[in-house]
Chain A
């Protein structure tokens, strides 16, 4: 069966046409690079995503510090991870890369800060 995919591995957003049988990929076409094939395989078996959000900062010059995951999580766990992020707060100052939730929900990646927020004067 032929299936269409929009690859999200990079901003190029290749439209990939894949011939699939169940969860097996027979051939792919339209991808600019090998990541396209990887992506199709992943979408068929276990779609993975990264998410970005914010955590509360105590005593910061800004009320929030942005965060993201340093790896991908299964798409169907996005809202579970959001619930964890919502519970989290950090003290200013924050540093980029600072881990705020380690191995979130045992999914194998951390929630890390992506913004430097200084202390409120």
Chain B
């Protein structure tokens, strides 16, 4: 069995960023495992621009952003295998060694590694998960699936379109389909606020005269063969449809952009503890999960708004993995990060109290003129004042070790 320092599961933006940084840090006995024919992950189908402003100081399309990292992987000759799907990760109890099993056309590949980096990304929430009532015709697609058909396979999925959910991919697909001659009637969002970024509302919807209806949802899907129409209702404050507000929209296509869920089936196989709030692993400030030597970053850990932050998170992870492998050891993280009702989740969930770290979080609902406070033992150790805070945006707050103690848990709260 091949012995490795690190196996990276997934060659999307997180995996690639981690690999390049590890290589630069002198960790060379590593391997990226990618299930697709090419590296790059979901970015291969995200052909719109707007990536890279933070990481590279210029705006790029998804494929270009990915290529920056792929080119470095090629240049350094970092080993990777494509067309290979990891099917199991297990941890040997006494030695702590990780066994990774992957299926490929050349057989079942088995690796033994000191560390495993989880960068599998996320998946889309489906019609079934949100239980949209009605019939089951062809023509109901999640935004990412429609995007793959249109941008990778050259297939048009529909002409008369309704979009449910104001996630960024949904809005981007509204524009994409409009540019390709489809008629996008409207975007409906069940929440009283948009779930995607304001710039996408402007440049993907407003620019093309596509209305966004907040507090609305699809309450029935009609059509026995191909989709014929959807019924849309207004919802009350508990997000229950209001009787009498039903309106039928004839259409042949319904695109769903109703949320992303970190893809953690392999993490569970490895025994990694998940956080029900983020749906990703519970990690400490080193991005280490509850299983020593198993690390996670990118959308498998928490759904990000920008790929730039995915890369940066994975690069920080790589620094920790390098330290772990060098056996300088990572500082134990005995303190918990707690949240109040205004915060959806935080990364990390565990800290040492002795080192600088960066806290990532999202707010549960839009808020104006608020202050995010990180409090330890009644002392505010970091804060961020915000004119507006929205759930669509991932908020990052650097925390200085000098302000922290190593005894008390940290609380994150939003004060209005």
Binding site for B on A (CB under 8 A): 6-8, 10-11, 13, 15, 30, 49-54, 56, 62-64, 66-68, 75, 78-79, 82, 96, 114-116
Contact = CB atoms under 8 A, between A and B. Distances in A.
A13 B387 CA distance: 13
Nearest to B53: A10
A114 B152 contact: no
A13 B179 CA distance: 23
A4 to B, nearest CB: 11
Given A11-B54, A66-B151, A115-B47, 16 more contacts: A6-B198, A6-B202, A10-B53, A11-B306, A30-B387, A52-B47, A52-B48, A53-B47, A63-B154, A64-B151, A64-B152, A66-B47, A66-B63, A78-B207, A82-B179, A116-B67
Contact of A6 (B54, B61, B199, B387): B199
Contacts of B131: none
On chain B, which size bracket covers the interface?
20 to 34
Contacts of B387: 15, 30
Contacts of B306: 11
A78 B339 CA distance: 45
Interface of B: 44, 47-50, 53-54, 59-61, 63-64, 67, 151-154, 179-180, 197-199, 201-203, 207, 305-306, 387-388
B199 A11 contact: yes
A68 B49 contact: yes
A49 B175 CA distance: 13
A114 B60 CA distance: 8
A66 B61 contact: yes
B388 A8 contact: no
Contacts of A64: 151-152, 154
A64 B180 CA distance: 14
B49 A13 contact: no
Nearest to B196: A13
Contact of A114 (B63, B153, B154, B201): B63
23 contacts: A8-B199, A10-B53, A11-B50, A13-B197, A13-B202, A15-B198, A15-B387, A15-B388, A30-B387, A49-B203, A51-B179, A52-B47, A56-B154, A63-B153, A66-B47, A66-B63, A78-B179, A96-B64, A114-B47, A114-B60, A114-B64, A115-B47, A116-B63
